[in-house]
Amino acid sequence: MSSTGPAADAPPLYLGVDGGGTGCRARVETAEGTVLGQGLAGPAATRFGIERSWAAILQAAEAAVAEAELGPADIARIRAGIGVAGIGRKGAREAFEALAHPFAAIAFATDGLVACLGAHAGGDGAIVICGTGSCGLGRVAGRDLRVGGYGFPISDEGSGADLGLQAIRVALRAADGRHEASPLTREVLARFGDDPLEAVAWMDRATATDYATFAPLVMRHADAGDPVGRRLVQAGAEQIDGLVRALVDRGAPRVSLIGGLSSAMEAWLAPDVRRRLSPALGDAVTGAMHLAGRPAGDASA
């Protein structure tokens, strides 16, 4: 992408990019929210390196610009907001900010912050992420809030990875006769050929994502009334309850629950916590556009 000068008196356009560990999504919109173009690319998390991440961001942005049929003068009036997973790593933000770009302006933030801005139409609020990991994030009166999310296995309580870890632990204890067996514990152990030592070998190479593959199994058994599954999910839900309450206590006027496990977990949350939850008003790409300066909407819903 290249540019000359912006068209005289032309209103700004907004580019939002959500760069995560599994892929990169981009969208170009007007200030009023009319979608002009969208693009996709590969992962853009900083753990893959600054150059590879930036290449993915540009690929997604170029695809959105091409679909929007924008010329050089239009590109030069784009204000871009980019959310990048892992940009909090030492030196990462500075490296991104030093890169050349064709836009009128560019702003970078964590993928969590742009998700939060999107959930609350650019206004104050917080999110609790309940997916492979868990974390509470928010922004209130210019203050950034963070609760938990220090990484699995030392944190991320109530997440898919944590549920998987707890299920494997109890299945191993059941195999030893130290805990009651149940359909859940038997199915977990069957994943390892009914051999606890296979679980040990798996553990040596397993990632948080691998542990999280057990979460749907745990939720299914819990919903079916399995006593072990119910206890595990209730314990996880109490951790999510704690994240929500902590954010409310710190002044978040709205809290939204997001992430791949959020809809399944919401039914297990305490009644007072469910009453405090508000639906997300937009996605992380929309939040990235708010980061770029698009006017905030009404987040009072």
Same fold, 1-121+281-301 and 160-276: yes
Give Rg (Cα) of the chain.
22
* Average pLDDT estimate for 26-52: 94
* pLDDT band with cut points at 50, 70 and 90 for residue 297: low
Domain boundaries, the chain: 1-121+281-301, 160-276
Spatial distance between the Cα atoms of 127 and 284, rounded to a whole number of angstroms: 11
Mean pLDDT, all residues of the chain: 93
* pLDDT band with cut points at 50, 70 and 90 for residue 22: confident
Spatial distance between the Cα atoms of 129 and 33, rounded to a whole number of angstroms: 25
| Per-residue pLDDT reduced to its tens digit, 82-107 | 999 989 889 999 999 999 999 999 99
Q: Does domain 1-121+281-301 have CATH number 3.40.1010.20?
A: no
Helices 183-190 and 160-176, axial angle in degrees (round to 10): 100
The predicted model scores a pTM of 0.85
| Per-residue pLDDT reduced to its tens digit, 189-213 | 999 999 999 999 999 999 999 999 9
> Which pLDDT belongs to residue 300?
46
> Which pLDDT belongs to residue 7?
52
Tell me whether residue 26 is exposed, middle or buried, using C-beta atoms within 10 angstroms of its C-beta: 0 to 12, 13 to 18, 19 or more: buried
Top CATH class, 160-276: alpha beta
> Which pLDDT belongs to residue 21?
83
| Per-residue pLDDT reduced to its tens digit, 110-156 | 999 999 999 999 999 999 999 999 999 999 998 999 999 988 999 99
Q: Which residues, at least 6 apart from 22, have a Cβ–Cβ distance to it below 8 Å? A: 43
7/60: higher pLDDT = 60
Q: Among candidates 158, 165, 119, which has minimal Cα distance to 240?
A: 158
* pLDDT band with cut points at 50, 70 and 90 for residue 53: very high
Whether residue 1 is predicted with pLDDT greater than 60 in this model: the reply is no
Q: DSSP label at 67?
A: H
- Signed CA dihedral, 154, 229, 223, 248: sign only: negative
> Which pLDDT belongs to residue 224?
97
Spatial distance between the Cα atoms of 7 and 18, rounded to a whole number of angstroms: 27
Whether residue 6 is predicted with pLDDT greater than 70 in this model: the reply is no
Spatial distance between the Cα atoms of 34 and 96, rounded to a whole number of angstroms: 28
In the block, tokens 């919401």 appear at 266
Spatial distance between the Cα atoms of 98 and 57, rounded to a whole number of angstroms: 15
Omega into 153 within 30° of 0, i.e. cis? yes
At residue 202, the 3 state secondary structure works out as helix
